[in-house]
Amino acid sequence: MTSDIWTEKYRPKNFDEVVGQDGIIKRIKALTNSLNIPHLLFAGPAGTGKSTLALIVVKELFGENWRENYLELNASDERGINIVREKVKNFARTKSLGNVSFKVIFLDEADALTPEAQQALRRTMENYAQTCRFIMSCNYSSKLIDPIQSRCSSFRFKLLEKKDVKKVLERISKEEKIEIDDDAIEAIYEGSDGDCRRSVNFLQSTAAVSPKISKNLVKTIISEIKPKDIRVVLDYALSGDFENAREKLLNLMLKESLSGQDIIKSMQKEIWNLSIEPEIKVKLTEKTGEVEFRIVEGSDPFIQLQALVASFVLAGLGK
């Protein structure tokens, strides 16, 4: 077994190897074969093939000369207006090498660009349309200004289904001579939530422990929250015992080193297994969404989760 990072080693090399995005692949392949593409916007969750597909498009267009005609930037690292004025503009204004009349700039995590940088990018896309095409990748296309979205052909990627992730994991297992059963693949898929990159990382981490991968070994490596632990917190809260619910929750976060978002997601799943009225389930689901948003925006997860537990206590008391 090698020490390579498997997500790079087994990155798809052509359109046929990309899984789970058949409709998008068909359209992108047709555009690429014509040796002419518009500005492209790839939007969707992480680990669904956006960056990989951008690289495949470039290699199909330029062949061996792809490095000379391709610039990749991560907008979350270089997100200010200067990156557009300097790196992007300087690359876009020069002609391409080879038979294709344009170069390609790939902006990963483009939704992290500042509003000023997006306005500058909008003008650059207009002025250098003859010599450069942009491929932008983002998780949330709504964070891009409308003028940029309207200049691009948008493709919305979806989370991979279990059969797609299974296909990838079985191919890697065969190459690396790993034994993995269906239950283990199921556990990896559940832990990754349809993120193929995360699934491959889980597989590599597990294979480093043993070449025979079982469901229990996967659960140990992933260290995900056990539903029964979350159920204890919710049962205490709904019975009106705030102190015990709070203590159990803090133990989960501190002793198990779990993030606030992981706990929120587990709570949201477990709500629907509770023996309470459907109306209460709806209210609690709404509250978990509100708290998750606050945590993402930077609020203290300890305080927010305690507030959430308090909401469960009030719901249990009928308030």
pLDDT tens track for 114-168: 888 888 888 888 888 888 999 999 988 888 999 999 999 999 999 889 899 999 9
Cα-Cα-Cα-Cα torsion 25, 33, 7, 263, nearest 10 degrees, comes to -30
> Is the residue at 4 inside a domain?
no
Q: Which residue has the higher pLDDT, 242 or 82?
A: 242
The CA-based diameter of the chain, rounded to the nearest angstrom, is 72
pLDDT tens digits for 182-206? 888 988 888 887 888 889 988 998 8
- Give how many domains the chain has, as a whole number: 3
Domain of 192, CATH number, reads: 1.10.8.60
Query: Closest Cα to residue 180, out of 152, 214, 151, 148?
Result: 214
Residue that terminates a domain, selected from 206, 222, 238: 222
What pLDDT score does 24 carry? 92
Domain shared by 135 and 31, yes or no: yes
Domain of 244, CATH number, reads: 1.20.272.10
Domain shared by 26 and 138, yes or no: yes
Per the CB < 8 A criterion, the answer to whether 65 and 100 are in contact is no
Query: 274 lies in which domain range?
Result: 227-316
Domain shared by 97 and 174, yes or no: no
- On the question of pLDDT at 56 being above 90, the answer is yes
Domain shared by 43 and 128, yes or no: yes
Domain shared by 26 and 149, yes or no: yes
Domain shared by 261 and 296, yes or no: yes
CA 289 to chain centre: 18
Average pLDDT for residues 296-304, to the nearest whole number? 86
> Is the residue at 184 inside a domain?
yes
Q: Which two tokens stand for residue 169?
A: 């994991």
- On the question of pLDDT at 43 being above 90, the answer is yes
Domain shared by 174 and 293, yes or no: no
Domain shared by 309 and 201, yes or no: no
> Is the residue at 10 inside a domain?
no
Burial of residue 276 (number of CB atoms within 10 Å: 0-12, 13-18, 19+): middle
> Is the residue at 5 inside a domain?
no
Nearest-angstrom CA–CA distance, 218 and 203: 8
Residue that terminates a domain, selected from 204, 222, 240: 222
- On the question of pLDDT at 39 being above 90, the answer is yes
pLDDT range class, residue 281, cuts 50, 70, 90 = confident
Q: Which residue has the higher pLDDT, 226 or 13?
A: 13
Domain shared by 58 and 119, yes or no: yes
- To the nearest whole number, what is the mean pLDDT of the chain? 86
